[in-house]
Chain A
Amino acid sequence: MLRRRLSLLVVQCAFLLTAPLAGAAEVLTFVGSDTMSRLITAWGEEFREQHPEIVVDIQVTGSAAAPPALAERVANFGVMSRQFGEAELVEFMGRRGFVPLGLIVARDSLEVIVNQKNPAASLSLEQLDRIFSQGRLCSGLPSLTHWYQISHGKADIDREHPISERPIAAMGRTAVSGSYGFFKNRVLCGGDFHGRVAELPGFAAIVRAVSQDSGAIGYVGSGFIDSSVKRVSIETWGDGLGAEPVRPSAVLSSPLKRDLYLYLAVAPEQTATAAECAFLQFVSSIAGQEILIQQGFAPGDLEVSGIIKNVCS
């Protein structure tokens, strides 16, 4: 996280230094989600090769930073791993007088990871709720605090396994993150996180901590998983509602898949700026979609290209 922030800073400084040389460069500012930061960075790099006159500036904190930035005209694009909340919408309309335009440009899934030494292969949504939540509002069953309490079909963690005595160390993102809210709504049935769930300031930090603590479990965006950790598949609850464990590549069949948005502050009847349109057209082009697949995301909404045509006419 730190290294990424620093490198982003260096890149931004480099842009600032080179911008005057390139003449009156236009700046496209992206503010928001950590989940999408790698995707936007990859898009930005390729986009700059096609449009050297446009500078791409990416600020990564969390989805919650996007609505205020859009409302204050600090950002061209709000990058969000969730929709605008109702309160954010009211706030935005109060400032700008219209509803922001949200485009589903990609989809990903939240994945649950454990340490490499952990034999767990799959967990149910119900078990995740009992691990991460305070109130267990999905089932009402008792909390799970140690790994020996987890059994999952064939590969039980029995008392003999060294992991079994370890407490379950749950890790997640801070409340700024859209993934935090998504996990809270979808996995915890809207209940609260347990006080013992560590809140870390980025997915990269979660991956590193999980790779080092043998009792750890965490949730990360699908693009952040590397070989240092182990991904567990998620079984949904209920009869016939997708009890199949998800395949590693199939983001779209994951029970924790979600839509990822680019928000624009474009009033109805108005069009986006030329630079914004150029970026949107790049995103929906074949090159943009190839980058998206490379980064481990699934394509967004098919209607996006139609909307882009409307906004950029």
Chain B
Amino acid sequence: MSARNYRAWLDRISEWLIRATSIVIFLVTAGLFLQIASTALPLFEDPRIAPAHEKSAAVTPNQRLAWLPESQNDEYGVVPAAKLPLVTSDLGITSIEDGVAHGFLKAPARPGEQPGLENDAITPFSVATSLPSVSYASTVANGRYLALFNKDGFFQLGNIHESDSTTVFPVVDIPQHDAVLPTPGKRSWLLLAGHSIHQVHLQASDDGLIAAPLLTYALDSPASVVSSVGLTRHFVVFDEAGHLSLFKLGQAKSRAKRRAAASDPEIEKIEWRGPDYVELFHVDGGIERYRIDNLLNTLDVADLFMPKRYEGYSEPTNTWQPKGSADGVESKYSLQPLLWGTVSSALFALILSVPVALGAAIYVGYFMTPAYREVVKPVIELLAAFPGVVIAGLAMLWLAPRLQGFVAELIGILIMIPVTVSILAMLLGSRVRSRPGRYFSRRLPLLLIPVLCGSVYGGVWLGSLIDAHLFGGSVVDWFVANRGVSVSYFNGLLVGLALSIATFPVIFSLAEEAIFSSPSGAAAGSLALGASPWRGFVDGVLPYASPGIVAALMLGLSRAIGETMILLLLSGNMPVQTANLLEGVRSVGATLAIELPEAAVDSSHFRVLFLAALILFLLTFGINTVAQIVKRRWRRRYGVAV
């Protein structure tokens, strides 16, 4: 084989190799995207009610306890008003006389056992109440209070443990109802009123704890039988038109609907037989069985992004608080605070790092002599070798305890550096301009370093002056005391500083490379024609380097958005949405790191986390696309290959 053939063959091989690897990379990216999307997408499918066969006998009574709602012994459905004595699974009310309700608490004889009537430990109590009669009662707040319902539309709390206290809690109005259906966790109740189903919840107010209306469920026709509320927080309604509707607590609209099999069966009751399996008992003894597909994964898309009023909350909020291992608790999946945390901390980090990184890149890439550059550039790039966790660890140990006392000094430094540099430029400007080569090559760095050190020192001094004279000791404490600003030990400022250290070398390195490698002809020409070095840079170098600089910025942004450890360790992981830099934040990345290991595979929590990951992916994808478009436009304009 001749050398020429050999080279052609090598060319072809490498061409195919490059083509193959780019196809592999494309496939991997597409596959990753599809994988994440297919995990998240079942969230948006509605559940379906499907007829089912008898559940296999593998479920023994003992195991069934695991998913039975805790209110299994209570009466439910639309029933006539209860008369005293009133007995539920965990308490009884025997009489109400002279404004005092007498009753007893039932507790299993041994902790952990299911309450039953025989062996229960009985504790009598008396509670002051102004209700004339009680249709339903329940203990709330870990057994501290008794919630009393009157079917004419009143609610009152009573203090179980201070029976002789004269405090009578206020009576509040709730919708009239025929029966009360408890929900898991005993923090809200469904009021069944024939034609409508209302949900009231326990809520803190100026008058203390009260029951407040939360939601009214939208029924197409009057309900005739209502199932209990299972641990998955779903309930099934059989209405007079013969339809079965599936509702989820907190969502007014039915998630799934189906006509019951029999033409007009008299349904006696509906019971959950598993997390996703219900049985309809006919009056004549027949049983209809339904399986509900995709029950656990559904949630309202609007709740992910819009404020929602959750159980126990006095107003609509954007809250991120998955229930974790707690059963029967409402999961709150609002992605807003997480996305806010990710984007705001990334942008803040860039605000800090971009001016410094670009300034350094311009100086090192254009003005600095090659001898200096060979030393300075690798040293700065060494910073990139520190993984996020190391930066976070150092910041946690060293910066976090000092940060709140250092805010004024930080501001002082930010004021002092531009001021001193401008003064210096004014003083030296004419001399530098007359003999640019000499100043830019050697002396300027040596001159600037002590000046910069001095201005940092001056900034610290200025900061301490600000602290001492304007704010009586500490600017942060002053704002906390006088302006009610809330401050957190882990906060956005800390995150921003650490993130800016992580993004700085990335941006610097790429931007410097773009500036240094841009063709020097135009700049040299303009210098030869008498332009100042700065003009030469702006008109001769910047047009060629700008696509590379944009790429550098975008890479820095991607790095800041994708960073996990710094946010996990320094942000405090507080899902609050605030522009206050001294408050904590919670990012998508840190949330994934914390919660993915514990989320049950294919649960709604798991899918919501993947949805957050998908949004993050699309965000960086979008940023990169915009960067590509900008780069391409510039390339066309200046005819540079970048």
Residue contact A200 to B573, C-beta cutoff 8 Å: yes
Whether A87 and B489, one on each chain, are in contact in the complex, defined by CB atoms closer than 8 angstroms, is no
- B573-A184 in contact (CB<8A): no
Which A residues fall within an 8 A CB radius of B? Answer: 2, 61-65, 68, 82, 85-91, 93, 99, 134-142, 145, 165-167, 169, 171, 174-176, 178, 180-181, 184-186, 189-193, 195-201, 205, 209, 212-213, 216, 237-239, 241
User: Top 3 closest A-B pairs, CB basis?
Assistant: A140-B209, A198-B572, A64-B598
Q: Are A198 and B489 in contact (CB under 8 A)?
A: yes
Residue of A nearest to B62 (CB): A99
Please choose the segment from B47-55, B278-286, B479-487, B516-524 that sits at the chain A interface, where 4 or more of its residues have CB less than 8 A away: B479-487
Would B401 and A192 count as touching, CB distance under 8 A? no
Question: A31 to chain B: closest CB distance in Å?
Answer: 11
Which of B197-205, B298-306, B423-431 is near enough to bind chain A? B197-205
In whole angstroms, what is the CA distance A205 to B280 when docked? Answer: 52
Q: Assess the B573–A181 pair: CB atoms within 8 A.
A: no
Give the Cβ gap from B403 to chain A, nearest Cβ, in Å. 10
Interface contact A140-B204, CB-CB below 8 Å: yes
Q: Which of A138, A180, A213 contacts B141 (CB 8 A)?
A: A138
Q: State which residues 198-219 of B face A: CB under 8 Å.
A: 202-205, 207-210
In the complex, the answer to whether B313 meets A134 with C-beta atoms within 8 Å is yes
- A82 to B210: give the CA distance in the assembly, Å: 31
Whether B144 lies near A237 (C-beta < 8 A) is yes
CB-CB contacts below 8 Å: B604-623 with A: none
Q: Nearest Cβ distance between residue B55 and chain A, in whole angstroms? A: 14
- List the B side residues contacting A191 at CB < 8 Å: 187, 312
Cross-chain contact of A90 among B62, B66, B140, B490 (Cβ < 8 A): B66
Interface assignment of B158: CB less than 8 Å from any CB of chain A: no
Q: Is the CB of B63 within 8 A of A174?
A: no
Task: Name the CB-closest residue of B to A178.
Answer: B325
Q: Cα distance A97–B337 when bound, in Å?
A: 40
Taking the closest CB of chain A, its distance from the CB of B165, in whole angstroms, is 9
B574 touches A195 (CB 8 A): yes
Tell whether A241 pairs with B161 under 8 Å between CB atoms, given A135-B203, A137-B141, A190-B329.
Answer: yes
List residues of B (146-173) whose CB comes within 8 Å of A's CBs.
161-162
CB within 8 Å for A196 and B488 given contacts A174-B573, A175-B594:
yes
Instruction: State whether A169 touches B488 (Cβ < 8 A).
Output: yes
- Interface segment, one of B251-259, B316-324, B541-549: B316-324
Residues 41-84 of chain B: 1 if any A CB is under 8 Å from the residue's CB, otherwise 0? 00000000000000000000011001100000000000000000
B450 is an interface residue with CB less than 8 A from chain A: no
Q: Complex: how many Å from CA A192 to CA B481?
A: 27
- Closest CB of chain A to B129's CB: distance in Å? 17
Q: From residue A246, how far is it (CB to closest CB) to chain B in Å?
A: 18
A238 adjacent to B332 (CB under 8 Å): no
**CA distance in complex: A124, B379 (Å):** 55
A134 to B224 Cα, complex, angstroms: 37
Q: From known contacts A175-B598, A181-B324, A212-B489, infer whether A190 and B185 are also in contact, taking CB-CB under 8 Å.
A: yes
Q: Is the CB of B401 within 8 A of A90?
A: no
Q: If A176-B594, A199-B572, A238-B144 touch, does A136 touch B204 (CB 8 Å cutoff)?
A: yes
Chain B residues in 8 Å Cβ range of A239: 161-162
Partner of A189, one of B144, B310, B480, B583: B144
Q: Is the pair B208, A140 in contact by a Cβ cutoff of 8 Å?
A: yes
Do B324 and A99 touch across chains, with their CB atoms under 8 A apart?
no
Q: In B430-485, which residues have CB < 8 Å from any A CB?
A: 477, 480-481
The residues of B that contact A85 with a CB separation of less than 8 Å are 325-327
Decide if A212 touches B400 in the complex (CB within 8 Å): yes
By beta carbon, the residue of chain A nearest B318 is A195
The residue on B at minimum CB distance from A165 is B481
Q: How far is the CA of A178 from the CA of B598 in the complex (A)?
A: 11
> Once the chains are docked, how many angstroms separate the CA of A189 from the CA of B144?
9
The answer to whether A201 and B144 touch across the interface, beta carbons within 8 angstroms, is no
* Given A135-B204, A140-B204, residue A184 in contact with residue B486 (CB < 8 A): no
- B-to-A contact residues, CB < 8 Å: 62-63, 66-67, 140-142, 144, 161-162, 185-187, 202-205, 207-210, 231, 275, 310, 312-314, 319-322, 324-327, 329, 332, 337, 389, 393, 400-401, 477, 480-481, 486-490, 568-569, 572-576, 583-584, 586, 594-595, 597-598, 600
Inter-subunit contact A176/B489 (CB<8 Å): no
| Contact yes or no, A198 B598, CB < 8 A | no
Give the contacting residue for B486; candidates A63, A68, A167; CB below 8 A.
A167
Bound together, the chains give a CA A198 to CA B590 distance in angstroms of: 13
Q: Are the C-beta atoms of B312 and A138 separated by less than 8 Å? A: no
Contact (Cβ within 8 A) B329 A86: no
Determine the distance from Cα of A90 to Cα of B277 in the docked complex, in whole angstroms. 14
Task: Determine which residue in A68, A134, A205 has the highest number of CB atoms from chain B within 10 A of its CB, and name it.
Answer: A134
Chain A residues whose CB sits within 8 angstroms of the CB of B141 once the complex forms: 137-139, 189
Report how far A166 CA is from B404 CA in the complex, Å: 12
Q: Is the CB of B594 within 8 A of A174?
A: yes
B584:A198 contact, CB within 8 angstroms: yes
**In the complex, what distance in Å separates the CA atom of A311 from the CA atom of B525?**
89
Q: Is the CB of A138 within 8 A of B144?
A: yes
Report the minimal beta-carbon distance from B308 to chain A, rounded to whole angstroms: 13
| 30 interchain pairs, CB-CB under 8 A | A63-B325, A64-B598, A65-B597, A85-B326, A85-B327, A86-B67, A87-B231, A90-B67, A135-B312, A138-B141, A139-B209, A140-B205, A141-B204, A141-B208, A165-B480, A167-B480, A175-B321, A175-B598, A176-B324, A181-B326, A189-B140, A189-B142, A190-B186, A190-B326, A192-B313, A196-B486, A198-B488, A200-B573, A212-B400, A241-B161
Are B489 and A169 in contact, CB atoms less than 8 angstroms apart?
Answer: yes
Contact indicator B66/A93 (Cβ below 8 Å): yes
Please state if B326 and A184 are interface contacts (CB–CB under 8 Å): yes
Q: Point out the residues of chain A lying under 8 angstroms from B203, CB to CB.
A: 135, 140
Choice from A82, A87, A196 contacting B576 with Cβ under 8 Å: A196
Distance in angstroms between the alpha carbons of A89 and B275 in the assembled complex: 12
Contact call A87/B600, Cβ cutoff below 8 A: yes
With A and B bound together, what is the CA distance between A185 and B186 in angstroms? 12
Q: Which of B187, B486, B574 contacts A190 (CB 8 A)?
A: B187
Contacts A86-B327, A140-B204, A140-B209: A91 and B187 contacting too (C-beta < 8 A)?
no
Query: Shortest Cβ distance from B326 into chain A, in angstroms?
Result: 5
Rounded to whole Å, the gap between the CB of A191 and the closest CB of chain B is 6
Q: How far is the CB of A307 from chain B (nearest CB, A)?
A: 14
Cβ-closest chain A residue relative to B232: A87
Q: Are B325 and A82 in contact (CB under 8 A)?
A: yes
Inter-chain contact B600/A91, CB cutoff 8 Å: yes
